């Protein structure tokens, strides 16, 4: 049976790599928080923004295909609404209002 060695024994010694650059690459630059990019929110955080929750449902295959096609064609044409979410929200809004579920 072969002699067992620790994992680090198989590592090759670094060749011409600056250790400080290596640490910066691996761990990031944590010394100056101003240099780090700030994460941007997916939606603007203001008083007028509407929160969204995930909703899973099943629809007829022909509706799903037509919805996807409409979304892609509208995106290519630069028309709004063009995302599946926006198209569905625009379609559901009048029905919910007409039946008294939202004001």
The answer to whether 75 and 82 have CB atoms below 8 angstroms apart is yes
Cα–Cα distance measured from residue 80 to residue 87, given in angstroms and rounded to the nearest whole number: 9
What are the structure tokens assigned to 29, written together?
Answer: 């630059």
Q: What pLDDT score was predicted for residue 60? A: 97
Q: What pLDDT score was predicted for residue 43? A: 53
Residue-by-residue pLDDT tens, the chain, 103 positions = 888 988 888 887 767 788 888 888 888 866 665 665 666 655 555 556 789 999 999 999 999 999 999 999 999 999 999 999 999 999 999 999 999 999 8
Cα–Cα distance measured from residue 64 to residue 88, given in angstroms and rounded to the nearest whole number: 11
Q: What is the pTM of this model?
A: 0.51
Q: What pLDDT score was predicted for residue 57? A: 93
Rg of the Cα atoms in the chain:
27
């Amino acid at each position: 049976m072969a002699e067992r060695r620790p994992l680090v024994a198989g590592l090759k010694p670094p060749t011409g790599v600056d250790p400080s650059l290596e640490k910066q690459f691996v761990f990031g630059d944590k010394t100056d928080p101003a240099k780090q990019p700030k994460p941007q929110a997916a939606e603007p955080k203001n008083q007028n923004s509407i929160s969204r929750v995930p909703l899973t449902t099943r629809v007829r295959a022909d509706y799903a295909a037509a919805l996807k096609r409409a979304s892609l064609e509208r995106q290519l044409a630069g028309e709004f609404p063009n995302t599946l979410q926006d198209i569905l929200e625009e379609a559901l809004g009048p029905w919910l209002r007409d039946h008294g579920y939202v004001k």
